[in-house]
Structure 1
Amino acid sequence: MPKGKNQKFKLYRLAQIMLENTDEEHYITMPEIKEKLEEYEVTADRKSIYNDLKDLEKLGIEVEGEPVGNRYHYHVVERPFELPELKLLVDAIQSSKFITQKKTNTLIKKLEKLVSKYDAQKLQRQVYVSGRIKAMNESIYYTVDAIHNAISENRKIKFQYYQWNVKKEMELRHDGAWYHISPWGLSWDDENYYLVGYDSEAELIKHYRVDKMLHIRMSTEAREGKEHFKQLDMADYAKKSFGMFGGKEKTVKLLVDNRLAGVIIDRFGKDIMLIPADESHFTVNVDVHVSKQFLGWVFSLGEQVKILSPEEVVEQMQGEVKRLVEQYGE
């Protein structure tokens, strides 16, 4: 029998048809396969298609045929990602504040191509779970990539940093001055992405919101601050920084109501030592960067948490209480 038309595209189109139209619950028959190939202007006989279905396995696409009545029904039996795994990825992308809505939609569309058109509809339903606030800096996707490249090349980076003004306009900080930073890692905290790096001019470890970085460039200068990061645990650094706001690192002793044990463990981890103080309370020593955000976190827990030491942190809290009374008092 003579060969059909467009044979060089046949295996590619067959893979496309099987991946798009079949899954564990949806099958396709041989006449339907031939019909769909013809839609791509590819013609083939049954025997060659049987052989091609076997060849797909070499490409990592396992196809199974099951007899149903007087016909075989074919479907793809295994894929790189299971549907529940892709749903998790979709939800993570959708809930990530630092990924813009436009980039979110693009990424989810790409994930949909990893499943059949039937399962893709289930992923599409996930997109509309909630209307979360998303970043507005479209370049963040590439900023993250540029930071990783600079780290792997052991180079400093230059960038400008912005903030929003009351007119809802992007306003460059420090009159558009360029920041020269040695990047050492990225940290995720409070739904935001942060660059953690070393500022050699200030001789300090600093962090910056990645979605507020603009015009990032890789410098020809080698990174500095290696000695500061040798002992730095990135996860520990983020845990100590409330909302990634800076402040002097202190060991703070807290008196906590037993009912908040879970809150303390969720924030500081299971390795933290809870020392009984009385029948209703325990004390705990936590290493934190003392900032207004930390004091605000303690304040939000009300009478169930009290700072015991050091004295200077107690005085900072007293100062905040006094300020609040003056601000909201009559």
Structure 2
Amino acid sequence: MPKSANQKLRLLFEREILLRETDEENPISTKQLISRLEDCGVQAERKTIYSDIEALSLYGMDIIKVSGKNGGYYVGERDFELPELKLLVDAVQTSKFITKKKSAELIGKIERLTSKYQAQVLHRQVYVSARIKNMNESIYYNVDKIYQGIDENKQIEFFYMEYNLDKKRVPRRNGKRYKISPYALTWNDDNYYLIGYDGQSDTIKHYRVDKMENIVVLKENREGETNIDIGEYSKKVFSMFGGSEESVTLNFDNRFIGVVIDRFGTDIPVIKTDSEHFETSVTVKISPQFFGWLASLGRGVKIISPISVKDRYKEHIQSILE
């Protein structure tokens, strides 16, 4: 049999065909595989296919042979199983942080991680969400710049944007650039945040990555805290709003134990005060968002101490009533 120009690519074509066109419910026969190779400009015989399947298996592909009338070959174990890909698709399409355009691109790439038949299942799972999606496409470049600063141990500068009443993005602080030592990126309430050290105020601060523009990596080395525990930091901060840090003792109805553990984790102390209530002490950033979380639990939570936080909560509620 004369060799075609693409003959050297035969194994690569076979690998691609098996990955994209087979799964447990859709094996491909030797005859079909030969036909598909011909579509790619490659000639092959049955003997060649058997040898190539063996070579691909030795290479590490999990190729399953099915005997019988409707038998053939299919790829068994893959890097991602279908339920895992469904989770990834869900995460992408429901994320406010990822733009509509980038969501479609990422889901398309996720679909290519499985067979075309299972990709159809993933595609049927995708729906047009009415939720607000971010409109800042430059966010991906922002992430790269931030990681560059972290990797190179350098400070960064940027404009921090906000919307005016004309719905236009304008820089805060009258266009004065922010200068921060970047230390970590974290995900909170559907947004991506930079956590870093502000040398001017000597405090740890956080910034929404989609609101950052024109990031420049500086030559100056980073300053401040180098070992920020992101998990612990996130527990203290409500909706990524900062404030003074306090150790607060709270009394809850027993029915809220799940809510409290979801928020603060299982390491917190839980003290039963009577048959219907428990107390715990947590360290939090005191902010309107923290008070809003307390208010959402209604009469099921009380601030025991400190008195100063108790008074601030009363003032917060009173100011809303006014």
Task: Assess same fold via TM > 0.5.
Answer: yes
Deviation at 1:299, TM superposition (A): 1.4
In the alignment, which residue of structure 2 is the partner of 1:300? 296
Structure 1: how far apart are the matches of 2:180 and 2:279?
39
Residues of 2 paired with 1:60 and 1:218: CA distance?
42
Cα 1:37–1:118, aligned 2, differ >3 Å: closer, same or farther?
same
CA distance in 1, matches of 2:131, 2:179: 33
Give the 3 Å change call, closer, same or farther, for CA 243–118 of structure 1 in structure 2.
same
- Map residues 133-212 of structure 1 onto 2, 5 A cutoff: 133-212=132-211
Q: Normalised by the size of structure 2, how large is the TM-score?
A: 0.94
Opposite residue 67 of structure 2, the aligned amino acid is: P
Contact 1:5–1:43 (8 Å) recurs in 2: no
CA–CA separation in structure 2 for the residues paired with 1:259 and 1:66: 54
Q: How does 1:224-303 map to 2 (within 5 A)?
A: 224-225=223-224, 228-230=225-227, 232-303=228-299
Letter in 2 for 1:80: D
Are 2:316 and 1:316 aligned?
Answer: no
1:78-93 equivalent positions in 2, closer than 5 A: 78-93=77-92
Q: Which residue of 2 aligns with 1:55?
A: 55
The answer as to whether partners of 2:27 and 2:66 remain within 8 angstroms in 1 is no
Shift of 1:262: 1.4
8 Å CA contact 1:3–1:44 kept in 2: the answer is no
Deviations along 1:163-192, one digit per CA (max 9) or x if unpaired, are 122222111111222111100111221111
1:216-237 per-position Cα deviation (integer Å, ceiling 9, x unaligned) = 1211111000xx343x321111
- 1:155 is displaced (CA, Å) by 0.9
Counterpart residue identity of residue 96, structure 2? K
Residue by residue over 1:229-276, the C-alpha shift from the partner in whole angstroms, topping out at 9 and shown as x without a partner, is 43x321111111000101000011112112211111111111111222
Distance 1:148 1:115 in 2: 30
Equivalent residue for 1:18? Answer: 18
Identity in percent:
50
Residues 277-307 of structure 1 deviation map (CA, whole Å, 9 limit, x = unaligned): 2332222211100001111111121111111
C-alpha distance after superposition, 1:114-134 (max 9, x if no partner): 111001111112221744322
Look up the match of 1:100: 99
Moved more, 93-102 or 56-65: 56-65
- C-alpha deviation, 1:57, in angstroms: 2.4
Distance in 1 separating the partners of 2:254 and 2:2: 82
Unaligned 5+ segments in structure 2 are none
CA–CA separation in structure 2 for the residues paired with 1:122 and 1:130: 18
Q: Aligned partners of 1:122, 1:325: CA distance in 2, in Å?
A: 51
Separation of aligned partners in 1, 2:25 and 2:5: 31
Aligned partner of residue 266 in structure 2, secondary structure: coil
TM-score normalised over the length of structure 1: 0.92
One-letter amino acid of the counterpart of residue 20, structure 1: R
